[in-house]
Amino acid sequence: MKAFVLRNTCLIFCYLIVTYVASAQEFIFDRFTVNNGLPLNVTKCIIQDRYGFIWIANLSSLTRYDGIHFKVYDHSNDVNSLIAGNVKALAEDNQGRIWIGTTAGICYFDYETNQFYSLHEGQIQGVKKFVINGNRLWIGAAANGIYSLDLETLKLIEIEPHLNEQLKKSNVHNISVIENSVYIPTSNGLYKYDPTDKTYSNYLIDGHEDNQHVLDAIRYKTDEILAATFFGLKILKGHKLVQFRNANGDRILENLELLRLFSDSKNIIWIGSKWEGLYRLDPESFELQQFKNDVNDQLSLVDNAVVNFFEDRSGNLWIGTENGISKFSRLKYNFNLYQHERFNENSLAENAVYAMLEDDGNIWVAYLRKGVDVFNPQMRLIKRYESSEKLPIRWIIEMLKDVNGNIWLASKNDGLFYYDKRRQKFHNYTFQSTNGELGSNLINSIQTSSDGSIWLGTADGLFLIDSLAIRSGEHRFKEVNDLKNTVINRLYIDHDDQLWIGSSDAVIHYNFRSNQLKNYLFSISDITAIYEDSFHQLWIGSAKDGIVKYNHQNNSSTYISKKDGLSSNRISSIFEDQYERIWICSKDNITNYNRQTNNYTILSETDGLQGAYFHENSFLLHSSGRVILGGANGINIVYPKSRQNDIKPNFELVDFKIFNQSKEFNESINLVSKIDLNYKENTFTIAYASLDFTNPNKNQYKYRMNGI
């Protein structure tokens, strides 16, 4: 019998005039350190090869990453092993060879033979950077100048000797090729070398004759050169490197020790500093953002010493530092997290968020114990209404805005609260204060119909404040007798102004104009969520049984559960965003349903969620397009637009084991097209990788084994 074992992980990944510091509330970074598999934290270079694997230079070793596992290549006595020395440079040529530069020399890895080959031993030392341009490998080599290698003949090409004499007196920090000219940042300014006519120029930092350290140089816009220096960000003007300024003439990033520059596929400039973290510069608006490590935030930048950048083919930005790697994924949902902070008056009053409401762009946030906060659209606190013995604003389960613009808050314990915006006062309606007119202090849901009437679903039936009472301000409560003593969990008004009622054992359709009731007994009970999507289908969620999707027009229903792709059958909330994606919040993470692809995607803490537990009806679709989610551990805010990852990852074999022992091949396993087994080799394991690194654990796939 053959045992086919699949891997169960990623298969199918004041000087700053216009600057503001961005935290995890702006960008979310994944981390790779020794704590989750990286062999060494110090990261000098990152590349991606033609197959999709990520290669990482970790000083004492070379590492290949497939989205789940790190494969380490070390130096050994084998002549075909990795060359000795600290690995600092990587590049892939057009033949698929991986070039490795170390302090002791250069070598390359050949997939076709699965071996390393050293070249020009003793001739090239102190390698710091590779650049491939056409058929040439350019090598920056610290105190040894630069080299050029012909990738066909593997012979060294002579460099203008006077240039190399000068470079050897300096320290070569980097090397780059721009418009076929070679730019060489050194401790003695920036050199430009024309390999065609073998001429060169030297550009010095204006005003800093005593210190000319230039660490990096890149193309800026069409024909300008930006440089990272020990004195900040410079731009080449004439024969001098002068201070970079924005459109208003303000100096940008002056007097900072900068190490690396990178222009991504969106033309955003990323700047790595020695001490102050990461900067993001928009060259059109000159908006400058700073990202720093926060020891209390695992989603912040992993370290403040940024030494290299790389963008993979999916658009993920890899940031190498002295203490690990950070990765930013544009296509991954980036959930901004807002929580209570002890010494921050602008933070949430507490983390247990139960209800939210938008009012003229502002965001009302209701808590379990701490009353209600009102934030502006940028989540800056405007007003805090604290709960007190006299006004116990607690356990607010739902809020709405009436036709007069006033706010109503339904409590699971203390009745109904009404906020008069003109008088800026709260009034509390309870069973006691209304002499029983409001039949219960336990209100589970509140909705308003098109005429302005307000409906209350309680533990003791359905109650109404009619539109006349709302408009006049003389609030009286009427009970719907046909639903007397019914425990109502959820109310929803559909596009036809019909009321849907979720109870402990049924869904009830109530036409309040004709006073007609109709019960629907679906295969679920304990209704917690009702939502009508843009196609007028009802999504009905249960506290324990999953979801029923009901089409009222043809009276058909579909049952959806965890086995269909939901994160949990314990549903809290259901809603649709402006891109027709259905969000299903639960007591165990969030499921995102894409109607176009019919796919369910589970979102969890690895995506930046506050945690797994989300409260019933604690969501808000803000007019700005943001989705706001409340749970047991704060608020998550995300812009859902353009977050669908449609990249189809490449799949590669990474291991083949017989009786749990890896089999050796004469070529890399991912190039093997045929494997012959004898009849005794009847238990084998195949491991393969899905090479999109946006969110490797969420890569989806199907597989099939064909018989002979």
The answer on pLDDT for 367 being more than 90 is yes
Signed CA dihedral, 571, 576, 580, 585: sign only: negative
- If one counts every other C-beta atom within 10 angstroms of the C-beta of residue 170, the result is 21
How many whole angstroms separate alpha carbon 615 and alpha carbon 625?
A: 21
The pLDDT assigned to 501 comes to 97
Does residue 520 belong to any structural domain of this protein? yes
Residue 525, domain member (yes or no): yes
User: Residue 31: how many CA atoms within 13 Å on its side-chain side?
Assistant: 20
CA atoms of 491 and 499, how far apart (whole Å) = 7
Look at residue 672 in the predicted model and tell me its pLDDT. Answer: 85
Mean pLDDT of 413-440: 95
How many residues are there in the chain? Answer: 708
Give pLDDT tens digits for 606-635: 777 888 899 998 999 999 989 999 999 999
* 482 domain residue, yes or no: yes
Q: State both tokens at 99.
A: 């070039």
CA distance 519 to 526: 14
pTM of the model: 0.74
Predicted pLDDT of residue 702: 66
Residues 497-551 have pLDDT tens digits of 999 999 988 999 999 989 999 999 898 999 999 999 999 999 999 999 999 999 9
Confidence of residue 652 (pLDDT cuts 50, 70, 90): confident
> Cβ atoms within 10 A of the Cβ of 237, count?
13
Determine, yes or no, domain membership for 173. Answer: no
87 pLDDT more than 50: yes
Q: What's at 75, amino acid-wise?
A: H
- Res. 9 pLDDT band, cuts 50 70 90: very low
148 token code pair: 């050029």
Give the mean pLDDT of 642-669: 79
Residue 125: both structure tokens together:
């030392």
Can you give the CATH number for the domain in which 609 is found?
2.130.10.10
More confident residue, 541 or 661: 541
Computed on alpha carbons and rounded to an integer, the radius of gyration of the chain in Å comes to 32
pLDDT at residue 6 is higher than 60: no
552-555 own/partner pairs: CB under 8 Å, 24+ apart: 552/494
Task: Give the residue from 132, 48, 141, 36 showing the smallest Cα distance to 88.
Answer: 141
Residue 665 domain flag: no
Say if residue 127's pLDDT is above 80: yes
With beta carbons less than 8 A apart as the criterion, state whether 292 and 25 touch: no
What is the identity of the amino acid at 462?
A: L
Give, for 169, the enclosing helix (H) or strand (E). Answer: helix 161-169
* 331/431: higher pLDDT: 431
Q: Which helix (H) or strand (E) holds 119?
A: strand 115-119
| C-alpha dihedral sign at 158, 159, 164, 167 | negative
CA 644 – CA 637 distance, rounded (Å)? 17
Residue type, 286: F
Residue 3 β-bridge partners: 683
Q: Quote the domain boundaries for residue 444.
A: 393-415+430-630
Q: Output the CA–CA distances (angstroms, integers) from residue 377 to 361, 583, 597, in the order listed.
A: 6, 22, 32
Q: What is the pLDDT of residue 1?
A: 29
Instruction: Give the number of other CB atoms < 10 A from CB of residue 90.
Output: 24
Q: Which residues pair with 398 in a beta bridge?
A: 410
Q: From start to end of 475-598, where are the E strands?
A: 478-479, 488-493, 499-503, 507-511, 516-520, 527-532, 537-542, 547-551, 556-560, 571-576, 581-586, 590-594
* pLDDT per position as a tens digit, 231-288: 999 999 999 999 999 999 999 999 999 999 999 999 999 999 999 999 999 999 999 9
Q: Which two tokens stand for residue 205?
A: 């930092």
- Which pLDDT belongs to residue 644? 57
- Tell how many helices (H) and how many strands (E) occur in the chain: 2, 61
Note whether 482 and 470 are within 8 A (CB): no
Mean predicted confidence (pLDDT) in 445-452: 96
Structure-block tokens of residue 414 = 């203390």
pLDDT at residue 299, rounded to an integer: 81
**For residue 425, with 0-12 CB atoms within 10 Å meaning exposed, 13-18 middle and 19 or more buried, which class applies?**
exposed
Task: Report residue 69 CA to chain centroid gap.
Answer: 21
Nearest 5°: the CA angle 128, 132, 136 is 110
Phi/psi for 209 (5° steps) reads -60, -25
**Which segments within 211-352 are labelled E, that is strand?**
214-220, 224-229, 232-237, 240-243, 258-263, 269-273, 278-281, 288-291, 306-311, 317-321, 324-328, 336-338
Q: Judge whether 609 lies within some domain.
A: yes
pLDDT (0 to 100) of residue 64: 96
pLDDT single digits (tens) 457-510: 999 999 999 999 899 888 999 999 999 999 999 999 999 999 999 998 899 999
Cα dist from 587 to 389, 542, 569, whole Å:
31, 11, 9
Three-class DSSP labels, 391-431: CCCCCEEEEEECCCCCEEEEECCCCEEEEECCCCEEEEECC
Angstrom distance (rounded) from CA 72 to CA 257: 32
207 part of a folded domain: no
Cα distance between residue 135 and residue 552, in whole Å: 66
Query: 């509330």: which residue's tokens?
Result: 25
**Is there a contact between 174 and 166 (Cβ–Cβ < 8 Å)?**
no
Report if residue 509 sits inside a domain.
Answer: yes
Q: In what order do the strands lie in the sheet with 45-48?
A: 45-48, 54-57, 62-65, 70-73
Number of domains in the chain: 1
Cα 115 to the center of its chain, rounded Å = 37
- DSSP structure class, residue 614: E
Using the 8-state DSSP alphabet, how is residue 54 labeled? Answer: E
